[in-house]
Amino acid sequence: MTQRPHLSPPVLQEGVHLQQIQPLKVWTTLTGEQQASVLQVLVTMCQECLVLQKEAKDDHSIPLPENHPRPS
């Protein structure tokens, strides 16, 4: 799995102003392979969040063997 970058605010010197990043402009500079990679990471992140929420919601109501699929 790919590692997610650590997001922390940049340390700015006095008088330095950041320009706002335009997502569409950045997206159009990526190659098709890079766009596919970004989309795959986003889909994986969403799936992980949804699975964790579903497990947390369902764990209390369904016994463990029925809640988790058996390995094939």
Q: Tokens 């700015």 — which residue?
A: 12
pLDDT tens digits, 7-33: 666 666 676 667 888 889 999 999 999
Mean pLDDT for 38-52 is 86
pTM: 0.45
Task: Return the exposure string of 27-43: e unless at least 16 CB atoms fall within 10 Å of the residue's CB, then b.
Answer: eeeeeeeeeeeeeeeee
| pLDDT at residue 52 is higher than 90 | no
Classify 59 as helix, strand or coil: coil
Averaged pLDDT score across all residues of the chain: 75
